[in-house]
């Protein structure tokens, strides 16, 4: 059973992404949420999700740090990480690339695009 983790300090964004991925729940995908980087690391260690939506600007531990830690661990480095950020700046893209981010989306994003991307990654036809 696939697991998708949504990490964002904004509750509305978490809810939005949860609602967007609602349909995948019917296909046996469970959706987990975390509101900061530390919590995200704990959940990743415990639940080992296939896919993580990771916000960059968060308290306690930012998205880059989380991604960096995850990608360094051999057992977690296959986890697909999609960086979700309001910062569409070049240096952030470069930073994301450096820490091993797989995909990169900027707010505001299109729900349609997110759904398509998830179904591609999890290989689930809706």
Partner 1 sequence: MIMSKLFKKTLLIIIVLFAVVAVSTLLSSGWHIYNMLVAEYTSKGTAIARSIADSSVETLLNRDAATVQSMIDQFTEIAGVSYVFVVDAQGDIISHTFVPNVPSEIRDIGTSKNTAPVDIEIGNRRYIDISAPIVEGAVGFVHVGMDKGIIMSELLSSMMRQFYLLSIIFIFSAAAAYFLVSRVSQPLNKLTEYSRRLAQHDFSQSIEIKSKDEVGQLAGTMQSLANDLSEVFDRYEHALKDAVVELQSTLAYLTAVIDHMADGLLVSDVDGIITHVNPAMSAMVNMRENDLIGKYCGDLFGEGLAEIVQKSRHDPEEVYTIEIELAGGRTGKAVAAGVMQDYFPLEGGGKGIGAVVLVRDITTEKEVDRMKTDFISTVSHELRTPLTSVKGFTEIIRNKLEEDLFSKVTFTDEKSARALKRVRTNINIILSESERLTSIIDDLLDVAKLEAGKVQWKTEPVSVADVISRAHEATSALFEKKGLVFTKNVESDLPYVIGDSDKLIQVVINLLSNSVKFTESGSVTCTACSNGKEIVVRVADTGSGIADTDRHAVFEKFKQVGDTLTDKPKGTGLGLPICRQIIAHHRGRIWVESEMGLGSVFIFTLPVADVTNVAAESHSTNRETITHV
User: Which residues are at the interface with partner 1 (CB under 8 A)?
Assistant: 10, 12-13, 16, 19-20, 57, 82, 86-91, 93, 96-97, 101-114, 117
Distant-in-sequence, close-in-space partners of 17: CB < 8 Å, separation ≥ 6: 6, 8, 53, 84, 114
CB nearer to partner 1: give 112 or 123.
Answer: 112
- Cβ at position 41, least distance to partner 1 in Å: 22
**Tokens at residue 88, please?**
């569409």
Q: Which is nearer to partner 1, 3 or 20 (by Cβ)?
A: 20
Give backbone dihedrals phi and psi of 76, rounded to 5 degrees, phi first. -105, 0
Q: Which is nearer to partner 1, 48 or 125 (CB)?
A: 125
At residue 63's C-alpha, the angle toward residues 33 and 98, to 5°, is: 140
Residues in Cβ contact with 69 at an 8 Å cutoff, skipping those fewer than 6 apart? 41
* Smallest distance, partner 1 to C-beta of residue 125, A: 17
> Minimum CB separation from partner 1 for residue 36, in Å?
16
| CB closer to partner 1, 74 vs 108 | 108
DSSP 107: S
């Amino acid at each position: 059973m696939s697991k998708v983790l949504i990490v964002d300090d904004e509750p509305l964004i978490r809810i939005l992404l949860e609602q967007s991925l609602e349909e995948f729940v019917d296909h046996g995908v469970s959706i987990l949420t975390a509101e900061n980087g530390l919590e995200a690391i704990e959940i990743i260690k415990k639940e080992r999700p296939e896919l993580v939506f990771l916000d960059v600007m968060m308290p306690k531990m930012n998205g880059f740090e989380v991604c960096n830690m995850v990608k360094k661990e051999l057992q977690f480095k296959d986890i697909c990480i999609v960086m979700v950020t309001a910062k569409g700046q070049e240096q952030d893209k470069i930073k994301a690339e450096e820490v091993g981010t797989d995909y990169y989306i900027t707010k505001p994003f299109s729900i349609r695009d997110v759904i398509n991307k998830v179904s591609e990654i999890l290989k689930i036809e809706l």
